Every structure is written in C-alpha cells, then in structure tokens.
Amino acid sequence: MTLPVLFTVLVLLVGLERVAELVVSTRNAAWAFARGGVESGKGHYPVMVLLHTGFLVGALVEVWLRRPEVPAALAWSMFAVVLAAQALRWWCIRTLGPQWNTRVIVVPGGGLVASGPYRLLPHPNYVAVVVEGVALPLVGGAWITAVVFTVLNAALLAVRLRVENAALAAAEPSGVGRA
C-alpha cells in the first residue's frame, strides 16, 4: 500500500474517533443540561467544528496532491505521538465522565475535577489537540496542514480558554465543564 492510502486509513480512523467523541459529547451535554448546565461560548463552537473538520480534510488533500516523501522514522514517531494524544484525550474523557463534552457547559454544584490528567494540568485535552495537530499531518508529510492548523488553532484556543476559564471561575467552587 502507498503512503497516501495508509495515511487516508489513519485519518479516517481519527475521523471515526471524532464521531465517537461527538456521540459521547451529545449524551453528556444532555446530562449537563438536565442538571441545570449553562453553556458559554456558543459563538466560537461552529468555528471549532469547521477548523477541526478542515484539519482532517486538509491533511488528506495535501498528502494526495503533494505526495511527499516521508522518512520512515518521522512517520512512525509521529504515529506514536498521535496514539499518545488519543490516549490522553480518552483519559480526559474517562476522568470527567458525564461532565466532559466538546462544548463549554458548567453544571452548578458539579465540582471541579482534580484527578487523572487534571491533577497535572488544567486543560490536558487541549494538550492532546495541539500535539495531534502537529503529529497527525506529519505522519503523512503534510507539514503545511500542520503549520496552518497550529496557527489557526492557537487563535481559537486563546478564545476557548478565555471562555472556559471565565465560565469555571464564575461557577467556583462548584463548577465543572473542562475539555
């Protein structure tokens, strides 16, 4: 199999993982709203969905159009980093349980989670997103996608973190809703 075909399989698997996240997120958002959850930052959410969808599509388009030569050491090391990012992401989801979703929803009285990866970092899921944003495209040699996504994602995360931190601070000491 050629690199573009293998890379396409990987991106499709990551896309399926995203669908699984959205299923969990939708269920958890319903749980949060049923308990009086309040959503913040609705305006940036469609931009986030568009950026993350464009990220996957852009990586595929770049690999198929450019057909880059990728050293095996780079491809395999970045693949390992992608797997580590997925593990971190699902550790976050598991740790937050029904309090995790892709939106910023704070449940009154929910309490802040300080276990799992949250005992080490305030926003470990975003670490997974940033790392994956570099590593996934580089598996296929899509360095342009890695750079463009990283820059755009940094701008989006600046907004997202401001919204999320404000929502959590307003709910202190009883708020939750980290990503």
Q: Where are the domains of the chain?
A: 3-171
Determine the Cα–Cα distance for residues 29 and 99; give it in Å rounded to an integer. 8
Q: Find out whether the peptide bond into 173 is cis, omega within 30 degrees of 0.
A: yes
Q: Which of 140, 147, 154, 152 is nearest to 78 (CA)?
A: 140
Burial 89-109 (b: 16+ CB within 10 A, else e): bbbbbebbebbbbbbbbbbee
CATH hierarchy code of domain 3-171: 1.20.120.1630
Cα angle value 11/14/15 (rounded, 5°): 85
Name the residue with tokens 């997925």. Answer: 86
Please tell me the predicted confidence (pLDDT) of residue 90: 98
DSSP state of 123: -
Per-residue pLDDT of the chain (179 residues; tens, 9 = 90+): 899 999 999 999 999 999 999 999 999 999 999 999 999 999 999 999 999 999 999 999 999 999 999 999 999 999 999 999 999 999 999 999 999 999 999 998 877 888 999 999 989 999 999 999 999 999 999 999 999 999 999 999 999 999 999 988 887 654 444 55
Beta bridge partners of 104: 40
